[in-house]
Amino acid sequence: MQHTQQTQEQSLPKIIIDLFKKRGLTEQQIEEFLSWDLHSLPDMSQMKDVKKAAEIIVEHLDGKKKIAIYGDYDVDGTTSCALFYQFFKMINVEVDLVQPSRFVEGYGLHLSSIDDAIDRGIDLMITVDCGITNNEAATYAKEKGLGLIITDHHKDARDEMPDALAIVNPNRRDETHEEMRSLAGVGVAFAVCVEIRKILMGRGENVSSIYPLLEYVAIGTICDLAKLTPMNLKLVRHGLKSIKSTKFEGIKTFFDPEERSKDIIPSEKLSFNVGPLINSKGRLDHPEIALKLLIETDNKKARELYHHLQNCNEERKAIQKEVFDEAYTQVLDEMKVSEPNIAIVYAPHWHEGVIGIVASKLVETFKIPAVVFSDAEEEGVIKASARSAGDLNIFNLLNDNSDLFLKFGGHKAAAGLSMQKENLEVFKNNMNQALLEIPLIERTVTDFYDLEIEPEEITPTLLKSLDMLEPFGMGNAKPIFKLKNAKLKSFDLLKDVHVRWNFCSKKNENLNLKGISFNYIGKYGLPSPMEVFERQKSDEVDLEVFFTLGFNYFRGNKYIQLMVNKVTIY
């Protein structure tokens, strides 16, 4: 069922109007932003090769040929594999699923995977979320007689595109439909399924609705940090809506009945819970458990697989903390000598499965881009994950040094690479020098907030109105507020690292606002809660509290909670 939203300015709450104005949206853009109308989506069949790919797949289906789906080991790749699997199951076709190991084969399509597919009698391999830069593997597949269709969304960065039967990628060099570029790999996979269904139904076959597959599109799109353009907003909104009544037992395990009974499933649930759990297995060894969970039909088995991922994620967190603490110390040591433009750190023993998250946390901590290296399998080779800061295009910056790399790929916000260890110092110098040519505001994370509000304005009605802006993610950040005319009434430390805040209004000390900050203690550049509490006693000092808003559900109770990013005094 299609949803419509009234977008006339008079029907919107003032806080929403103010947010849209701050973000510079026109009336037409607001209407498009709030729309749920799937009929107004850009025509995905216009992407290059999508019809060609669908026709080739249907030919193989007609010939009873064996098909395999080959996907990356992250959330986007895993959900893409699951989406294709479920689609083919709907049309009573069994396909093989293949994912490489981060630690054995590494990212992308490999010659060994081609050999393995041939040994298993595969006739057609469809890549998801990878393949656009794997020219050698594509050529090898052609020589060996293995049909190859590439579906991907990463930048087309080689001198030539791979030699495949079809390449569906909104970011291929000759793609002209700009509105498609934001699709995640799982969105591209969905577009191919839509086209296959269209062909099958066009010749009279009965194919059930693929609307439930948008659940996978929602998870992959949010967790891969795909930009939430109007197109992706619609796809994710409907995916989240479908999750509330999901029939997929694997997806159901991530959401308890209470969560599925609420008005909406917030995108943060995907970002901070579902995504890390799916990713955890691929970060530490092989991702197959996560993929098995996403396609499992038995509730009991699904629960077992889910608990396996939970245990794995706890292990991942412990490893990640060790690596981050060491990386953090390296950056601080470097800052004693000079102020770096980028955090570039390396240790041979760091677990490569967590270096991407550590890079993101370094950006969050020091407000500059970060590249985290660890040893690769090959002697003398190191590999890294890079993350951008501010509006910096980290892919373009790294691409200028591509002559130093053995492998390289990614996009504006994140990239991965490998190179000879002996090139590390040259790489560091090159990156720091290149960043000097870029204005500081374009390459750092600046303190930002959407609106300044009074304590009295924080009401359940405000939170309800913010739900209209969901889903939040890349390109549609959750609104950050700055609290004015407030004071810190009390605070508690939880497990020595988290802070539970109790603010009140200066105008009305009986108006209390509860807040929480996770891992706040010891954060770089932030005053301690006690320092804030003591210094506010001066009449010349005011608080600045930067936060997002949400509800906290505890023992059957529901109350407004400020998710506090930082507290400053001025």
Q: What amino acid occupies position 217?
A: V
**354/385 Cα distance (integer angstroms):** 9
In the predicted structure, residue 48 carries a pLDDT above the cut 70: yes
359 neighbors 372 (Cβ within 8 angstroms): yes
Higher pLDDT: 4 or 125? It is: 125
pLDDT band of residue 325 (cuts 50, 70, 90) is very high
Cβ-proximal residues to 412 (8 Å cutoff; 6+ apart), any chain: 388, 393, 394, 395, 396
Task: Choose the final residue of a domain: 442, 465, 493.
Answer: 442
Q: Is residue 335 part of a domain?
A: no
Same domain flag for 208 and 239? yes
Q: What amino acid occupies position 310?
A: Q
pLDDT band of residue 237 (cuts 50, 70, 90) is very high
In the predicted structure, residue 36 carries a pLDDT above the cut 60: yes
Q: Is residue 334 part of a domain?
A: no
In the predicted structure, residue 544 carries a pLDDT above the cut 80: yes
Backbone phi, then psi, for 547, in 5-degree steps?
A: -160, 160
**219/75 Cα distance (integer angstroms):** 8
Position 104 scores a pLDDT of: 65
pTM of the prediction? 0.89
214 neighbors 242 (Cβ within 8 angstroms): yes
Domain count, the chain: 4
| Distance from the first to the final alpha carbon of the chain | 51
What domain range is 520 assigned to? Answer: 451-569
- Which spans in 249-372 are helix H? 249-252, 257-261, 267-269, 275-284, 288-295, 299-337, 355-366
In the predicted structure, residue 250 carries a pLDDT above the cut 50: yes
| Mean pLDDT, residues 471-482 | 95
Same domain flag for 110 and 237? yes
Same domain flag for 415 and 486? no
DSSP 8-state assignment for residue 447: P
Q: Is residue 318 part of a domain?
A: no
Same domain flag for 389 and 503? no
Same domain flag for 455 and 357? no
In the predicted structure, residue 303 carries a pLDDT above the cut 80: yes
CATH of the domain at 154: 3.90.1640.30
In the predicted structure, residue 8 carries a pLDDT above the cut 80: no
| Mean pLDDT, residues 99-115 | 82
Two structure tokens written together for 361: 């946390």
CATH of the domain at 497: 2.40.50.460
Position 103 scores a pLDDT of: 59
DSSP 8-state assignment for residue 277: H
Q: Within a 10 A sphere around the Cβ of 103, how many other Cβ atoms?
A: 17
In the predicted structure, residue 393 carries a pLDDT above the cut 80: yes
In the predicted structure, residue 545 carries a pLDDT above the cut 90: yes
Q: pLDDT digits over 487-498, tens only?
A: 999 999 999 999
* Ranges assigned E (strand) in 450-556: 451-453, 481-483, 486-494, 498-505, 512-517, 543-554
In the predicted structure, residue 101 carries a pLDDT above the cut 80: no
Q: Is residue 81 part of a domain?
A: yes
Same domain flag for 31 and 47? no
Q: pLDDT digits over 406-418, tens only?
A: 988 888 888 999 9
Q: Is residue 331 part of a domain?
A: no
pLDDT band of residue 556 (cuts 50, 70, 90) is confident
Task: Choose the final residue of a domain: 381, 414, 442.
Answer: 442
Position 4 scores a pLDDT of: 43
Position 254 scores a pLDDT of: 98
Same domain flag for 196 and 247? yes
Residues above pLDDT 70, as percent of the chain = 97
Same domain flag for 504 and 359? no
pLDDT band of residue 540 (cuts 50, 70, 90) is confident
pLDDT band of residue 462 (cuts 50, 70, 90) is very high
Interior angle at CA 343, CA 389 and CA 357, nearest 5 = 70
In the predicted structure, residue 446 carries a pLDDT above the cut 90: no
**303/568 Cα distance (integer angstroms):** 44
Going by DSSP bridges, is the β-strand pair 481-483/498-505 parallel, antiparallel, or unpaired?
unpaired
Residues above pLDDT 90, as percent of the chain = 83
Q: Is residue 488 part of a domain?
A: yes
Same domain flag for 113 and 178? yes
Position 283 scores a pLDDT of: 82
Same domain flag for 11 and 48? no
Cβ-proximal residues to 282 (8 Å cutoff; 6+ apart), any chain: 73, 74, 78, 99, 102, 290, 353
Position 5 scores a pLDDT of: 42
The secondary structure of 27-72 as a DSSP string is HHHHHHHH---GGGS--GGGSTTHHHHHHHHHHHHHTT--EEEEE-
Per-residue buried b or exposed e for 435-473, using 16+ beta carbons within 10 Å of the residue's own CB: beebeeeebbbeeebbeebebeebeeebeebbeebbbbb
Q: Is residue 399 part of a domain?
A: yes
Give the CB-side neighbour count of residue 180, counting CA atoms within 13 A: 28
Higher pLDDT: 231 or 72? It is: 231
In the predicted structure, residue 192 carries a pLDDT above the cut 60: yes
Cβ-proximal residues to 130 (8 Å cutoff; 6+ apart), any chain: 70, 71, 72, 77, 107, 108, 109, 152, 154, 185
Q: Is residue 381 part of a domain?
A: yes
**404/419 Cα distance (integer angstroms):** 6
In the predicted structure, residue 7 carries a pLDDT above the cut 50: no
Please provide the average confidence, as pLDDT, over all residues in the chain. 93
347 sits in the region (left: phi over 0; alpha: psi -120 to 50; else beta) called: beta
**422/432 Cα distance (integer angstroms):** 17
H/E stretch holding 563 reads strand 557-569
Same domain flag for 416 and 565? no
| Mean pLDDT, residues 127-153 | 97
Cis amide bond preceding 471, omega within 30: yes
Task: Choose the final residue of a domain: 412, 442, 472.
Answer: 442
| Mean pLDDT, residues 524-543 | 87
Same domain flag for 361 and 490? no
The secondary structure of 201-219 as a DSSP string is HHTT------GGGHHHHHH
Q: What does each C-alpha distance from 340 to 132, 440, 475 come to in angstroms?
A: 34, 12, 27
